[in-house]
Structure 1
Amino acid sequence: MAGSHHPPDDNDPEHVRTTHTTHSELDTIFRAVSHPTRRHTLRVLDRTEDPKTVDELASTLAAEPIPSASTDSGQLVTSLTHCHLPHLADVELIDRTSDDHVTATPATTDVVHLLDTALVTFD
């Protein structure tokens, strides 16, 4: 029945994982994905298997521009390095490797799916 609420299954690993996220942590995640460049970054990393340097990531973002985002790779490198990637790393949606490459985390796919679902639902 549409709109009916079913209690979560305690044996479902997805339920077990999400029950450990506090409201405060969830608010922090939503703040991290509130910027279009961060959402675009997550989508790019989610479909990329190999780690990317910040320069490679900036080039990819510039080649696939989104409305109101910079297409200048130099500006993107600066904003990624000093603003966007730290926000995403703080909530463990990306990892930075020791050689300064950027990769998606296991949570990235879940968040991208959530964002895509929201786009379809609220469009």
Structure 2
Amino acid sequence: MNNGTANWRETDPDPQLDLDTILRAVNHSYRRHTLMYLNVENEPQPVADVATAVGEELEQHSDSDRQQIALALRHQHLPLLGEAGLVEWTSRDLIESTGITSDAVRLIQNVPKYFE
């Protein structure tokens, strides 16, 4: 329950994300780049590969950078994306996009146009 209203997962088995959920989920560059990377891939990806892709996008190339990104993804960012329904864990170390990931990616790609 949120402010006296039912959580969308309790009422709709195939949810459409509300704006607050999407904005909270894409509010960090790691999560935005994770969603964009997973949206392109057609199969589950190891967290280490996602961390490498995020690091490359953010020009953080060292092994230490990748390890820090992977740690942050595992413990903070991927759980938040999972709660929002934007990623799914297929095993301990594999994640994949969901049917609604592309909706969030379209928002990520289009929002900057309004601020130019």
Structure 1 position 58 matched with structure 2 position 55? no
What aligned pairs does 1:38-77 form with structure 2 within 5 A after superposition?
A: 38-65=31-58, 70-71=60-61, 72-77=65-70
Of the two, which has the highest radius of gyration? Answer: 1
Could you tell me which of 78, 103, 111 is aligned with 2:96? 103
Runs of 4+ in 1 over 6 A off after TM superposition: none
What is the alpha-carbon root mean square deviation over aligned residues? 2.2
For structure 1, list consecutive stretches of 5 or more residues without a partner in the other structure: 1-16
Identify which of structures 1 and 2 has the higher relative contact order when contacts are C-alpha pairs closer than 8 Å and 6+ apart: 2
Q: TM-score by structure 1 length?
A: 0.71
2: CA distance between counterparts of 1:99 and 1:93? 17
Contact 2:39 2:105 in 1 (8 A): yes
1: CA distance between counterparts of 2:49 and 2:37? 11
1: CA distance between counterparts of 2:38 and 2:68? 19
Q: Percent identity?
A: 36
Q: TM-score by structure 2 length?
A: 0.75
